[in-house]
Amino acid sequence: MKKKKKVSSYAKWGYIFTLPFTIAFCIFSLYPTLYTAVIGFTDLKGINKTTFHFLEDPFANFRTILTSPTFHTALGNTVVIWVLNFIPQLLLALLLTAWFTDRRFKIPGEGAFKVMFYMPNIITAATVAILFNALFGYPMGPVNDLLTRFHIISSPVNFLVKKNVARGIVIFIQTWMWYGYTMIILISGVLGISPEIFEAAEVDGANGWQTFWQITIPNIRTILLFTLVTSLIGGLNMFDIPQLFLIGGPDNATLTTSVFIYNQAFKGSYMFNRAAATSMIMFVIIVAASIIMFYLLRDKDEVALKKQIRAREKEERRRQRAEAAK
């Protein structure tokens, strides 16, 4: 009698290797998120306080935040800063992507250019904040010195106390820091397109502009959607530059929702409950906005094709049941 060969299952090793990540995720992501959600319904506030009680009106903290003028200002600033930095960031990244991936161009030192464009993304936010504070320093700063030297302004200007200028600087910093990252993501998507498609377009006489807009862009729609959604999530959670650069000032001009949450939790009365409520409100806003983005930018042709396939399968099952009933 032959012995049965022992069949080794490698599936268990997959679970074992993912176990450290699962444990770390539960401890450092899932638990804090759930704990924050619970705190939003409590009276937890005050330094060194760990005990709390659930409120008789569980949504009192949420109503307080939603009716707060400061929160409205922070939310408006966050949306404006994100939109006004994402649009030029995406346009610049698309331009560079078209430049680096065009088969007609042979760019010497292409790798060095990519590294140079990506470099701002790896500089720490604290360094960037100090750099721009120094650049726009008053009364002695490189920008003031340059503008005065060329007689563009007659005397030094304190740019950092002007609301629109301060907000514009934050927008520029965000664009400068992230366009290189967006460019790398888009280039990786373009390189994943079959070269035969570009060769066919070239044979048909398409120029570089036509190839990019009619072939490249439709084929990287998924990458563009990923870029948009991740930028949306990051933009609505913007904290480091607004906080480190001007601490949300001047006059709340660069106050974002994340800075607002930080101020609620770690300044003044240490209102952890309201900070938690604000965090959950932003969580809901981000999820809702992401779902809307996915819905609006979905591949409608693919959705229609899936509906047709499901309809045919349903019709086929109905036909088989009808034949079986005869």
171 within 8 A of 165, measured Cβ to Cβ:
no
pLDDT at 259: 93
pTM of the full structure: 0.84
229 within 8 A of 290, measured Cβ to Cβ:
yes
Q: Which residues of the chain have pLDDT under 50?
A: 1, 7
pLDDT at 108: 79
pLDDT at 205: 80
pLDDT at 86: 93
- Residue given tokens 């760990």 in the structure block: 50
pLDDT at 8: 53
pLDDT at 294: 84
The percentage of the chain sitting over the pLDDT mark of 70, rounded to a whole number, equals 96
Condensed to tens digits (0 to 9), the pLDDT of residues 22-37 reads 999 999 999 999 998 9
pLDDT at 9: 64
